[in-house]
Amino acid sequence: MKELELKYGCNPNQKPARIFMTEGELPVTVLNGKPGYINFMDALNSWQLVKALKRATGLCAAASFKHVSPAGAALGLPLSQVERSIYFVEDGLSPLACAYARARGADRLCSYGDWAALSDVCDEDTANLLKPEVSDGVIAPGYTPEALEILKSKRKGGYNVVQIDPDYTPKPVEQRDIFGIRFQQGYNDFPILPELLDNIVTQARDLPDAARRDLLVALITLKYTQSNSVCYVKDGQTIGVGAGQQSRIHCTRLAGNKADTWWLRQHPKVLGLQFVENIRRPDRDNAIDIYISDEHDDILADGVWQQTFRVKPQVLTAEEKKQWVAQLTGISVGSDAFFPFGDNVERARKSGVCYIAQPGGSIRDDNVIQTCDKYGIVMAFTGMRLFHH
């Protein structure tokens, strides 16, 4: 098949809409549902991300995409008991299911209504994880019969399931139209591999294997994130993605705030929240987010908390949050372009950042390096910008 007609483009008034090939066959097959224009944009970008993660690490990977940027991306590493609790999953999941639990769990609010991408054949465990979540669709190189049956039953039989040829390689030159004008550029096939992190420019030079892996996760995620972007990673998964900001420091703050929220979800007070029976998953996730925030009174006011909790929770105070966040450490950060000032490092270290990878090349590189040295942070210059628009 060379062409697939779509209902409409980004918005209902944008017609006609289709995906097509000028040469050869489409590398995707719709196994269920009717994916739209934005669905395919998310699907094809997220597929490139998980494919690159597996290439760089040898581990299966998953991503949770919204509006052409990842809400989360992760490798298929085992989940701790606390991680299972904050992601609301059971023990004994397959590596691929663990990867999606991590990707979806990185930022559950932003993952609401996501597009999922899987680097490997979707198995039954992963399909069962996807089934109860609010999600628009999934792309993978294949599906077991059991997984496909589960996914076809989702959304009253309308869930979007797309299979992609894992051997498909795009043309070396890509094109797009903006305002009726044709743009052309080389496809960004630059490989992000461990040797990209060899140019360490700080006094601290010890880059453990786990941190090197996490920096690769950050950089690969950034390659498929709307720029400007900064990504925080821990234990093989993104914990904060700051996408599409005009200012680098705003990227760093946004991603850092998300990383802090991810960590605060592991606070004993949050783990001890007692929800009412049969609470909807989105309502539960939203309640946790509000409880952690400065707007906690919106969920804890008399006459309101009873709608969500069986027992009224104690407030998680500002001091308790500060003390808990101060315990976060071992975080890796990547940036898709250079840090122009040391303020980005100052903000990053407040969220436990110990390792940084960025292109370098700012006229103030010396200030950024000095700021890292001030806190004993290891920083590598990759020499490679990763803008994506």
| Set 67, 152, 250, 269: catalytic member | 67
- Sequence-ordered list of residues with C-beta below 8 angstroms from that of 267, at least 6 positions apart, any chain: 316, 320, 321, 324
What DSSP state is assigned to residue 5?
E
- Sequence-ordered list of residues with C-beta below 8 angstroms from that of 211, at least 6 positions apart, any chain: 330, 332, 354, 355, 378
Q: Say which amino acid occupies 336.
A: D
Cα–Cα distance for residue pair 329/351, rounded to 1 Å: 7
Q: Across the chain, where does the E strand assignment appear?
A: 3-6, 17-20, 28-32, 61-66, 69-75, 114-118, 135-140, 160-164, 173-178, 181-186, 229-234, 237-243, 331-335, 353-358, 378-381
Identify the CA nearest to 196 among candidates 385, 380, 386: 380
CB 379 within 8 A of CB 358: yes
* Other beta carbons less than 10 A from residue 325's beta carbon: 18
| Set 13, 156, 278, 389: catalytic member | 389
207 phi/psi in degrees, rounded to 5: -115, 95
Cα–Cα distance for residue pair 113/62, rounded to 1 Å: 16
Partners of residue 142 on adjacent β-strands: none
Cα–Cα distance for residue pair 103/257, rounded to 1 Å: 17
| Set 32, 51, 54, 66: catalytic member | 66
| Set 51, 228, 258, 344: catalytic member | 228
**Sign of torsion over alpha carbons 174, 177, 182, 183:** negative
Active site residue 66: yes
Active site residue 267: no
Q: Say which amino acid occupies 188.
A: N
Q: How is residue 244 written in tokens?
A: 């599409």
**Sign of torsion over alpha carbons 82, 86, 90, 94:** negative
Q: How is residue 224 written in tokens?
A: 């498929």
Residues forming the active site: 66-67, 228, 389
